[in-house]
Amino acid sequence: MTDATPVVERKTPMGETRTFNQNDAEEIGALLTGRRIIAAEQGQFERSDRDWGDAPTGKLTLDDGTVVLVVPNEGGCACSAGDYYLKSLVACDNVITSVRLAAESDGEDTWGSKQSYRIYVVADAVEINVVQIDGDDGNGYYGTGYELIVTVPQASEEA
């Protein structure tokens, strides 16, 4: 993934699907603000946007039925460069009033240095780390960070 990854939108039978990454702070903030995260699950999930690519290892469900798949970058190299994993995923039963993305490094700029990407939310005046993805960029050629695949449910056609 690069810093210039565009937001992808497409229609699926389940609803509208959009993709964000660690550089889309404004969009992720708009997605979560005013919502509650009613479920947080870790495991292996199928991608809703395409049949190929890194596998989602986390799933957040928002109170309006929106599903957010968390996809840590997989470098795809035997050397483990660019490999990230989902360290933690937390539900938040209070209304989210603010969102902050953070990228933290161990300070080293060498092979094996650790990077951590986090999504913090503020709910009921408390900052909560709801998503944490850790890994290593390695040589820098195999990507970094994560994607969020967001599926917004279709509105029912009831009058």
Q: Give 46-99 pLDDT, tens digit per residue.
A: 876 666 667 889 999 999 999 999 999 998 878 888 999 999 999 999 999 999
Instruction: Indicate whether 5 pLDDT > 60.
Output: no
Asked if 79 contacts 138 with a C-beta cutoff of 8 angstroms, the reply is: yes
Nearest residue to 84 (alpha-carbon basis) of 57, 124, 123, 119:
57
Residue 105, CB half-sphere, CA atoms under 13 Å: how many?
12
Strand partners, 105: 115
Task: Quote the mean pLDDT of the chain.
Answer: 86
Q: In the prediction, which pLDDT does 22 show?
A: 96
Instruction: Indicate whether 25 pLDDT > 50.
Output: yes
**H/E/C letters for each residue in the chain?**
CCCCCCCEEEEECCEEEEEEECCCHHHHHHHHCCCCEEEEEECCCCCCCCCCCCCCCEEEEECCCCEEEEEECCCCCCCCCCEEEEEEECCECCCEEEEEEEEEECCCCCCCCCEEEEEEEEECCEEEEEEEEEEECCCCCCCCCEEEEEEEECCCCCC
Q: In the prediction, which pLDDT does 4 show?
A: 45
